[in-house]
A and B are shown apart, each in its own frame.
Chain A
Amino acid sequence: MGFETFVQTFANALVLGSIYAMVAVGLALAFGVMQMANFSHGELFMAGAYVVYVLYSLVGLPFLVAVVAAFPIVALIGMLFERVLFRPTRGNVLSGFMATAGAGFIMQVLVGQQWGVGLMRSVVVPYKGSAEILGAAISWQRLVIIPATIIMVGGLWFFLKKVKAGKGLRACAQDPEAAVLQGISLNKMTSLAMLLSGGFAGVSGALMAPIIPVTPYMGHVYGVTAFIVVIVGGMASIEGAVLAAFILGFIHTFISTVYDSVTATMVGVLFMAIVLVVKPTGLLGNVKV
Chain B
Amino acid sequence: MTLLLELKNTAVHYGKVEATRDISIKVLEGDIVTLIGANGAGKSTTLRMISGLVRPSSGEVLFEGNSITHLPPEEITGIGIAHIPEGRRVFPQMTVMENLEMGAYLRKDPKEVARNIELVFSHFKRLKERVNQAAGTMSGGEQQMLAMGRALMSSPRLILMDEPSLGLSPIMCQEIARIIKQIHAHGSTIVLVEQNARLALALADYGYVLETGDVALEGKAEDLREDDEVRKTYLGM
Contacts and interface: CB of A to CB of B under 8 A. Distances in A.
A175 B105 contact: no
A180 B54 CA distance: 12
B53 A177 contact: yes
B106 interface: yes
A181 B77 contact: yes
B200 interface: no
Given A164-B101, A167-B98, A168-B102, A183 B91 contact: no
Contacts of A267: none
A121 interface: no
Contact of B102 (A179, A185, A288): A179
A178 interface: yes
Nearest to A286: B93
A262 B89 CA distance: 46
Contact of B85 (A174, A181, A185, A287): A181
Given A164-B105, A171-B102, A175-B89, A181 B94 contact: no
Interface string B88-132: 011111100010011101100000000000000000000000000
A273 B188 CA distance: 54
A167 B103 contact: no
Nearest to B84: A181
B51 to A, nearest CB: 6
Contacts of B77: 180-183
Nearest to A172: B91
A287 B91 CA distance: 12
A168 B98 CA distance: 10
Interface residues of A, number: 19
A170 interface: yes
Nearest to B106: A183
Interface string A266-289: 000000000000000000000110
B74 interface: yes
Contact of A170 (B74, B85, B91): B91
The A interface, classified by DSSP as helix, strand, loop or mixed, is: helix
Contacts of B74: 180, 183-186
Q: How large is the interface on B (under 10, 10 to 19, 20 to 34, 35 or more residues)?
A: 20 to 34
Contacts of B78: 183
Given A167-B98, A182-B154, A177 B91 contact: no
B94 A174 contact: yes
Contact of B91 (A164, A178, A180, A186): A178
A178 B85 contact: yes
B73 interface: yes
Contacts of A175: 89, 91-92
B102 A182 contact: yes
B150 to A, nearest CB: 7
A183 B101 contact: no
A184 B93 contact: no
Nearest to B73: A180
Contacts of A170: 91, 93-94
A180 B105 CA distance: 10
Given A170-B91, A174-B91, A174-B93, A184 B102 contact: yes
Contacts of A174: 91-94
Given A164-B101, A184-B105, A185-B74, A178 B154 contact: no
Nearest to A288: B93
Q: Which of A175, A177, A179, A182 has the most CB of B within 10 A?
A: A182
Nearest to A174: B91
B83 interface: yes
A180 B154 CA distance: 13
Contacts of A179: 91, 102
A80 to B, nearest CB: 22
A183 B85 contact: no
A184 B101 CA distance: 12
A57 to B, nearest CB: 44
Given A178-B90, A288-B93, 6 more contacts: A167-B98, A170-B93, A177-B53, A180-B74, A183-B74, A183-B106
Interface of A: 164, 167-168, 170-171, 174-175, 177-186, 287-288
27 contacts: A164-B101, A167-B98, A167-B102, A171-B91, A171-B102, A174-B91, A174-B93, A175-B91, A178-B89, A179-B91, A180-B53, A180-B74, A180-B77, A181-B73, A181-B77, A181-B85, A181-B89, A182-B77, A182-B103, A182-B105, A182-B154, A183-B77, A183-B78, A183-B105, A184-B105, A185-B72, A185-B74
Interface of B: 51, 53, 72-75, 77-78, 82-83, 85, 89-94, 98, 101-103, 105-106, 150, 154
